[in-house]
Amino acid sequence: MAAENSIVQARGLRKSFGTTEAVRGIDFDVKAGECFGFLGPNGAGKTTTMRMIGCVSPSTSGSLQVFGLDTQKSGRKIKQRLGVVPQEANLDEELPVEENLTVYARFFNIPSSVALDRAKQLLEFMELTEKRSARVSELSGGMRRRLLISRAMMNNPDLMILDEPTTGLDPQARHLVWDKLFELKRRGVTQIVTTHYMDEAEQLCNRLAIMDQGQIVENDTPQNLVQKHIGREVLEIRVSEKEKSHILSLNTELIKDHDSYRDLLILYSDDADQLLEVIKNTTINTDYTIVRRSGLEDVFLKLTGRRLNE
Amino acid sequence: MNPLKPFSFSPRQAFRVWQREVSVYKYVYKSTIVSNLMDPLIYLMALGFGLGAYVNRMQGLPYIQFIAPGLISSSIMTAATFETTINTFVRIHFDRVYEAMMATPVTVEDVVVGEMMWAVTRSTIYATVMLCVVTALGLTRSWYAIFVPFMGVLGGWMFATLGLTYTSQLKSIDQVNFYFTLFITPLFLFSGVFYPIDNLPQIVRMIAFLSPLYHLVEVIRPLVLGRLEFGVLIHLAWITGFVLIFTALPVNLLRKRLVK
């Protein structure tokens, strides 16, 4: 049985495609009413995990329960209560906007009069009412994404899974989507989101699982992740290899941790200004330095590495 | 994926898939029905009137009357074939319609069966419209012709099974052409649509016996012309046997293709 309040529970979940292991034994819980995020570089296994939760891809081993039901056995029952927003739009291009929603509602066996009412409300909510008779091909990228989210809400889902909900949108459209997702969270709809945008993860997610190469490397609230791995501030300084070791050998509590990439030394600290003063008191050249607040991106790069994985 | 995993099929959900196709068809039928029916009608006119002026009689009939039931049969084949090759490929790979459906309480089995039902529907519509045209031209000789739409169902089912099986193996849309040039066109020309094959060499007749279109023609022509004999039952049995044996094949192959 799933733990109380657990909407999704994964234990030792694995997925292989032939000899490639896309997901290598992950454990996580998603609780009712929260927004849970999967953050990770491309190819980390986020989408594969989402497809398993959505009961469209069978797992290779381990257990995965949604609403306390086994995804391998009760796909139909689970999907009846899910709202799925895919990464790329798969709307019905031949159908007008409103009919995209009502036709989709039939797959959930929602009576047509109910579906029509709900479609009208959702188009209103997503600010698409003016476009209800337009063809999908006439919509902008942001409108398509909002229509996809509306469509995923036609069955009043208990859990929404959104795969990169704002990838490819301009800033205005992103903020509108975030606003709507936040509103949904306030209404108590549990959400699972994948993203590789740090600001999105910080905006939307109560808890985050950082994925890399098919594994969850960390799983906590965004604030705790930053506090635990980085501290409050960051000092970036461009120095020679010799100077690097000099700085790291300084006997100071101010350096919580560090990271290094080519000539860039990244120092994590709770007081970067004071740390900079300490370094200035040595002979090290401090012309190229930046002091800034820490963020999720620092955690992400620290945990998943600075090199391209592709 | 375990090949022995039992089918998860719901008639109601397959019906929902069919309904979706009907909804889309309401927006596109005007542009498709004319172009799809022009093809057999042009053959009927060009060969029936044109070649018919030189061909005296075929099996004791005016040539146009001989080929009309054959062209009704071939329109059943093309309707189901277009639907389950090009259209299905587009739904899988370009419009990703199946992906959207399978995110709902619809399984891959429901999708494939629903698509077959839809291909059958289109075949039946075309068979019926073609029959009306042929009848309006005064080429129908028997009330048995009212069973032609039923053969639209059975023939459409047969060609939908074949089309979906082929599409399940496709890598790119260009490969659809092979199906038409290497399979559909030869069937069209060598299955008794334009000339009887009874008098051809034994080897040709044996090959024709393997042609699904040949058996469809040999049922529809007697129905339209009122020449029912015992042999019709053999052809009917061939078609029925074909769909009973092979329907599960594309369901299985598409499940392998779509569920990963």
B145-187: per-residue pLDDT in tens? 999 999 999 999 999 999 999 999 999 999 999 999 999 999 9
Within-domain flag for A8: yes
Task: Give yes or no for residue A307 having a pLDDT over 70.
Answer: no
ipTM above 0.85, yes or no: yes
The minimal CB distance from B99 to the residues A90, A94, A155 is found for A90
Instruction: Tell me the count of A-B CB pairs closer than 8 A.
Output: 69
CB contact (8 A) between residue B27 and residue A54 = no
pLDDT tens track for B36-82: 888 899 999 999 999 999 988 899 999 999 999 999 999 999 999 99
Contact present, A108 and A89 (Cβ < 8 Å): no
Task: Give yes or no for residue B1 having a pLDDT over 60.
Answer: no
Q: What is the pTM of this model?
A: 0.90
Residues of B in contact with A84 (CB under 8 A): 103
Q: What angle do CA B246, B249, B251 make, to 5 degrees?
A: 125
Within-domain flag for B184: yes
Return the pLDDT at B29.
86
Return the pLDDT at A5.
77
Task: Give yes or no for residue A3 having a pLDDT over 60.
Answer: no
Within-domain flag for B245: yes
Within-domain flag for A182: no
Could you give the strand order of the β-sheet that contains A264-269, starting from the edge strand earlier in sequence? A257-261, A264-269, A233-238, A289-293
The residue range of the domain holding B92 is 11-258
The DSSP bridge pattern shows strands A35-39 and A190-195 to be parallel
Shortest Cα distance from B48 to chain A (angstroms)?
Answer: 37
The residue range of the domain holding A14 is 1-81+158-173+188-221
Q: Model confidence at A88, in pLDDT bands (50, 70, 90)?
A: confident
Give the total number of structural domains in chain A. 3
Q: Residue A191: which H helix or E strand, with range?
A: strand A190-195
CB contact (8 A) between residue A76 and residue B95 = no
Buried-state track A146-159, b at ≥16 Cβ within 10 A, e below 16:
bbbbbbbbbbebbb
% of chain A exceeding 70 in pLDDT = 97
pLDDT tens track for A26-43: 999 999 999 999 998 888
The minimal CB distance from B103 to the residues A56, A88, A103 is found for A56
The minimal CB distance from B24 to the residues A54, A80, A95 is found for A95
Give the total number of structural domains in chain B. 1
Write down the number of H helices and E strands in chain B: 12, 0
CB contact (8 A) between residue B20 and residue A94 = no
Same domain, A169 and A23: yes
Give which of A51, A78, A94, A116 to mutate to test B binding, by max B Cβ within 10 Å: A94
Within-domain flag for B1: no
Residue A208 sits in a domain whose CATH number is 3.40.50.300
Within-domain flag for B18: yes
CB contact (8 A) between residue B13 and residue A107 = yes
Return the pLDDT at A308.
62
Within-domain flag for A183: no
Shortest Cα distance from B19 to chain A (angstroms)?
Answer: 8
CB-based burial of residue A191 (10 Å sphere; 0-12 exposed, 13-18 middle, 19+ buried)? buried
Within-domain flag for B3: no
Q: How far apart are CA B178 and CA A251, in angstroms?
A: 74
What number is the average pLDDT over the span A129-133?
96
Q: How far apart are CA A185 and CA A197, in angstroms?
A: 19
Shortest Cα distance from A310 to chain B (angstroms)?
Answer: 22
Q: Model confidence at A231, in pLDDT bands (50, 70, 90)?
A: confident
Helix (H, G, I), strand (E, B) or coil at A3: coil
Same domain, A63 and A169: yes
Buried-state track A243-269, b at ≥16 Cβ within 10 A, e below 16:
bbeebeeeeeebbbeebeeeeebbbbb
Q: Model confidence at A281, in pLDDT bands (50, 70, 90)?
A: confident
Interface contact A108, partner B, CB < 8 A: yes
Return the pLDDT at A2.
44
Q: Token digits for A153?
A: 């809400």
Return the pLDDT at A4.
60
Residues of B in contact with A86 (CB under 8 A): 96, 99-100, 103
Closest residue in chain A to residue B26, using alpha carbons only: A95
Same domain, A100 and A143: yes
Interface contact A93, partner B, CB < 8 A: yes
CB contact (8 A) between residue B260 and residue A17 = yes
CB contact (8 A) between residue B20 and residue A106 = yes
Same domain, A209 and A114: no
The minimal CB distance from A79 to the residues B24, B100, B105 is found for B105
Torsion of CA A56, B170, B156, B33, to 10 degrees: 100
Same domain, A66 and A1: yes
Task: Give yes or no for residue B94 having a pLDDT over 70.
Answer: yes
Task: Give yes or no for residue A135 having a pLDDT over 60.
Answer: yes
Place of tokens 């936040």: A182
What number is the average pLDDT over the span A116-138?
95
Return the pLDDT at B136.
96
Q: Token digits for B67?
A: 């080929």
Task: Give yes or no for residue B89 having a pLDDT over 90.
Answer: yes
The minimal CB distance from B259 to the residues A58, A104, A106 is found for A58
Return the pLDDT at A287.
85
Q: If we measure between CA atoms, which residue out of A255, A260, A256 comes closest to residue A240?
A: A260
% of chain B exceeding 70 in pLDDT = 98
Same domain, A48 and A162: yes
Same domain, A147 and A248: no
Q: What angle do CA A184, A188, A189 make, to 5 degrees?
A: 60
Same domain, A148 and A131: yes
Same domain, A51 and A198: yes
Question: How many whole angstroms from its chain centre is CA A118?
Answer: 28
Within-domain flag for B78: yes
Helix (H, G, I), strand (E, B) or coil at A111: coil
Angle between helices B212-225 and B148-167 (to 10 degrees): 170
Shortest Cα distance from A10 to chain B (angstroms)?
Answer: 19
Q: What is the DSSP string of B73-121?
A: HHHHHHHHHHIIIIIHHIIIIIS-HHHHHHTTT--HHHHHHHHHHHHHH
The minimal CB distance from A99 to the residues B23, B95, B259 is found for B23
The mean pLDDT of chain A is: 91
Longest dimension (CA), chain A: 77
Same domain, A237 and A280: yes
CB contact (8 A) between residue A107 and residue B106 = yes
Same domain, A71 and A44: yes
Within-domain flag for A180: no
Q: Model confidence at A211, in pLDDT bands (50, 70, 90)?
A: very high
Q: How far apart are CA A198 and CA A268, in angstroms?
A: 18
Residues 6+ apart with CB under 8 A from A120: A98, A129, A132
Within-domain flag for B157: yes
Task: Give yes or no for residue A105 having a pLDDT over 50.
Answer: yes
Same domain, A2 and A77: yes
Task: Give yes or no for residue B211 having a pLDDT over 60.
Answer: yes
